[in-house]
Amino acid sequence: MTMPAKKDLSCYKGQTYEQNFYFKQRGEPMDLSALTPKSQIRPNENSRTLIAEFICSKDAEAGKVSLSLDAFVTAALNPGIYHWDLKMVDDIGTVKYWVRGKFSVTGRVTV
């Protein structure tokens, strides 16, 4: 069993958020054309409570997956530390988790 890579993320409340991941295989961009990304934020691992769901997009040829949250979503997040992961589902339904970590939200001053 392969464990997902660990990557902690952080955002500023009320700000548009984007994080890009580039996946390579043998030094070349991985072909992601048969994969569908999905990523969510929850209060802790195995929690049923959904805090937010990333908008996931990909550039299959470049091996790039982008996760984003608009400013309205991050404005609704309470400052604190949450958990997130990125799963990829292939065209026959195989699920693998590629990246996981903590997601911290910092409060804002200017509204």
Residues 38 and 65: their CA atoms lie apart, in Å, by 10
* Domain ranges for the chain: 5-106
CA angle 33, 17, 100 (to 5 degrees): 60
Neighbours of 10 (CB within 10 A): 12
Q: What is the number of alpha carbons within 13 Å of residue 84 lying toward its C-beta?
A: 25
Domain 5-106 - what CATH class? mainly beta
Q: Residue 1: is its pLDDT beyond 80?
A: no
pLDDT at 2: 84
What pairing do the DSSP bridges indicate for beta strands 95-106 and 80-90?
Answer: antiparallel
pLDDT band at residue 14, thresholds of 50, 70 and 90? very high
Q: What is the pLDDT of residues 25-84, one digit of tens each?
A: 999 999 999 999 999 999 999 999 999 999 999 999 999 999 999 999 999 999 999 999
